[in-house]
Amino acid sequence: MAPRRVAILFLSLALAGCSGGLLPAPPPPPKLYRLSPAAAAPTAGAPTQAQILVGSVDAPGALDTARIALSPSATRLEYFADAEWTDRAPVLIDNLLLDTLAHAGRFSRVAQRSLALRADYVVLGVLDHFEADYGAGTPPQVRVTLDLRLLRMPDGDIVAQRQFAATVPATENTVPAVVEAFDAASHRALHDVPAWVADSLPRSAKRP
């Protein structure tokens, strides 16, 4: 056998040995979590004729991620290891906002803005807080804070603006328990949004 072919053979065997036992095994995939859908519980109040579109929810770069955020102090933000959301945090809140408005039963139509449908009003938001706060101790308290604006279309004038927030303590210091607190805080923060939107509409948008 030629020396060059012998060298190639030995190199191939060496690489095979490395891949079989010397290289570290890839880490297991992270556990995935999501928010539960809104309950089908219409809010009290007269229905309106308005068609509502839910626009995008923005977030700071540290929260605009699928990683589950935690705050060990007022000036630090970190993430839980081996756990992620099924989508970026503002997308999860955007979908829950759409679901909450649709299940309220107070609007003639609710849809996502990306569908390019004609609408009377658009709801836009900024997710300011979506993290497990360890600043007060362990287990943490989950903070969800969302700033919403209601815009009249097609001119885009701001009809109303309000901050919605909720804080829910985790029952224990485990990722599943913290995720349950995220879920509860998200639903609690968005609970009053349908009534706020409906009450902010002019009388011309409401049925007699």
- DSSP assignments along 127-196, one per residue: EEEEEEE-TT-SS-EEEEEEEEEEEETTTTEEEEEEEEEEEEE-SSSSHHHHHHHHHHHHHHHHTTHHHH
Q: Position of tokens 């923060």? A: 189
- Domain locations along the chain: 51-202
The reply to whether CATH 3.40.50.150 applies to domain 51-202 is no
What predicted TM-score, i.e. pTM, was given to this entire model? 0.84
pLDDT in tens, the chain (208 residues): 444 443 433 334 343 444 445 677 787 889 999 999 998 766 667 788 889 999 999 999 999 999 999 999 989 999 999 999 999 999 999 999 999 999 998 898 899 876 667 789 999 999 999 999 999 899 999 999 999 999 999 888 999 999 999 999 999 999 999 999 999 999 999 999 999 999 999 876 555 4
Closest CA to 191 of 164, 162, 173: 164
Looking up tokens 């809104």 gives: 38
